[in-house]
A and B are shown apart, each in its own frame.
Chain A
Amino acid sequence: MNHVDEIKIDQPALSFEKSPESDEEHRKRLEIEELIAQSEHHNIPLNTLQKLALTPYGLVNDNLRRILWPQLAGVDVNTLERAPTLGELQNHPEYNQVVLDVNRSLKRFPPGIPYEQRIALQDQLTVLILRVIKKYPNLRYYQGYHDVAVTFLLVAGEEVAYAIMEQLSTTHFSECMQETMEATQRRLMFIWPVVNFENPELYQFLQRSTVGTLFALPWYLTWFGHSLNSYKAVVRLYDYFLASKMYTPIFVTAAILLHRSSEIFKEDCDMASVHCLLSRLPEDLPFEDLLQTSSMLYDKYSLTVIEKEVEVLILKEKEQRIAEEKMLLERRKKLTRSASTNRSYSIGHWLPNLLKSRSLLVTTAVSIVVGVCAYYYKNQYLAPGIS
């Protein structure tokens, strides 16, 4: 099947455009290259490496990422296992779902990549994903996991990508890989206290719109890989998240909401309008600034405090839901009551007719009885006299 000549793409194609290196990027690249050159086996101390990844421009380019991402993720590249073949994994119960998603991941591959090469990479992607979930049967594949895996595959190659995914699946993404998405849904609510602390007006607006947190679900599940249209932005964010604590995407999400507040206030305050606005990330988000805001927010608010706030919020939502259900039930009751009044009204309408027909019946019956009696009386008593 030729995928290239189809008509139109829903999402804009992922831009792999290489922009010329800025002065700051150049400076940072030289700094990192020097550190690598000085270090033994290219190993930079973890603290230094994390700092490089968190600060502006991250690890700068994919050549450096290829060397440093495994280190950041805590993966030893000297003890990599050989990948099994696709054939060995075809019987896995998730095989069909994974293939279905991998086949729909074309957007994530550089345009103009030779067909054979892309197919080979897609097969590697399928193997990589199935290997992880086969090794950890308690971890469940979700749609979006393939967006994370493809990012590592394209930068670091099949075997390193597998080792990184194995590491992340048992840490950062383990919650998302639970049997249901309930824990993830709850985690996404961590956005609200952070927004509320920073901009109560924005928080009130978003709550009033009842937008929920689903606009951020693909961001959280894929580290924004599914939703961004610039390859450069995706890998930059991956530098940041690899060097960060778990749940950091929550703080990046909060930073984005805070950054877009004036735009949000201009929108109609209803669920659909706000969801629509939020779920589409603008092309020109100043990610370096947003990441600094995110780090600041992470340091400022403890997860324990946020969690407590979330518990209150969940309780409030539950009460509201119960109240709504009660209202609905009462409204329904009222409707049935008015319907039954209608019914008795119609019975009242119907009754006179019934009475009419009954009286007709009675009259007929009485006249028959009278007739029979008269006949009997006549035969019994009058007949002899007459005859």
Chain B
Amino acid sequence: MAKKTYDLLFKLLLIGDSGVGKTCILFRFSDDAFTSTFISTIGIDFKIKTVELRGKKIKLQIWDTAGQERFHTITTSYYRGAMGIMLVYDITNEKSFENIVKWLRNIDEHANEDVEKMILGNKCDMTDKRVVNKERGEAIAREHGIRFMETSAKSNINIERAFCELAEAILDKTSGKEAAENPERVVIDRRNNDKAPGYSKCCA
């Protein structure tokens, strides 16, 4: 058996309409690359990336889901184990933004109550095709008390920052809680828990 080379394991989930760029966001974060020849995700897939936050090695297990509604019964069974969920919409696609409310409802129904959420408005490099302005994204995030960011997997804008902020929010939450709740979670050394470098040091 392989030895654990990390202090904490965080399970994250990417959800949102088909074609908003979930797989591209994940690929940019995990492999620092982009291609427009991506294939549709069928069902669910995941990637792993280890980041360093406040001196801790955190293994991020990021699950990527199919956006088509037909797969929802399958993908929602993965909500329960997620500690962080990224809701992605496409700033050039009005419908994908309107559906954020629907995705939020899905989270309420299927995820843990204390799951950390973040809304991402992707494809922000495509300024000439934008139909959802940033203020609307910020407003819906404020309304639900969720973090928000505009991203571009293609131009590598805010991708790393988004994942690290989400991971940090989970870390904040985890620090004050019993680690035993998740058997896979390793007990945190609280002596080293002082607030320290943020995402500047993360993802090194």
Q: Which residues of A contact B (CB under 8 A)?
A: 1, 3, 6-11, 97, 100-101, 104-107, 140, 142-144, 146, 179-182, 185, 214, 217-218, 221-222, 226, 268, 270, 272, 275-276, 279
A179 neighbours in B (Cβ, 8 Å): 70
Q: Say whether, besides A105-B39, A221-B42, A181 and B27 are in contact (CB < 8 Å).
A: no
Contact B37 A181 (CB under 8 A): no
Can you show 13 pairs from A to B with CB atoms below 8 A apart? A8-B31, A8-B34, A9-B37, A10-B23, A10-B31, A10-B39, A97-B68, A143-B18, A182-B73, A214-B43, A221-B42, A276-B46, A279-B45
Q: Let me know if B40 is at the binding interface, CB within 8 A.
A: yes
A226 neighbours in B (Cβ, 8 Å): 39, 42
Contact B40 A8 (CB under 8 A): no
Q: Let me know if B187 is at the binding interface, CB within 8 A.
A: no
Interface centre among A1, A106, A140, A214, by most B CB within 10 Å? A214
Contact B42 A217 (CB under 8 A): yes
Segment 38-53 of B: residues with Cβ below 8 Å from A:
38-46, 48
Q: Which residues of B contact A (CB under 8 A)?
A: 1-2, 18-19, 23, 27, 31, 33-46, 48, 61, 66, 68, 70-71, 73-74, 184
Report Cα–Cα, A268/B2, bound state, in Å: 7
B44 neighbours in A (Cβ, 8 Å): 214
Contact A181 B38 (CB under 8 A): no
B19 neighbours in A (Cβ, 8 Å): 100, 104
B18: which of A3, A10, A97 is its contact (CB, 8 Å)?
A: A97
A6 neighbours in B (Cβ, 8 Å): 34-37
Contact A272 B45 (CB under 8 A): no
A1 neighbours in B (Cβ, 8 Å): 36
B37 neighbours in A (Cβ, 8 Å): 3, 6, 9, 104, 106-107
B61 neighbours in A (Cβ, 8 Å): 272
B43 neighbours in A (Cβ, 8 Å): 214, 217-218
B41 neighbours in A (Cβ, 8 Å): 143
Contact A104 B35 (CB under 8 A): no
Report Cα–Cα, A272/B27, bound state, in Å: 18
The 8 closest A-B pairs by CB, nearest first: A218-B42, A217-B43, A8-B33, A100-B19, A106-B37, A6-B35, A144-B42, A143-B40
Contact A10 B35 (CB under 8 A): yes
A279 neighbours in B (Cβ, 8 Å): 45
Report Cα–Cα, A191/B2, bound state, in Å: 28
Contact B18 A100 (CB under 8 A): yes
B71 neighbours in A (Cβ, 8 Å): 142-143, 181
Contact A180 B73 (CB under 8 A): yes
Contact A142 B73 (CB under 8 A): no
Report Cα–Cα, A268/B61, bound state, in Å: 15
A147 to chain B, nearest CB (A): 8
Contact A7 B42 (CB under 8 A): no
Closest partner residue, chain A, to B27 (CB atom): A10
A105 neighbours in B (Cβ, 8 Å): 39-40
Report Cα–Cα, A107/B39, bound state, in Å: 7
Closest partner residue, chain B, to A272 (CB atom): B61
A222: which of B27, B42, B184 is its contact (CB, 8 Å)?
A: B42
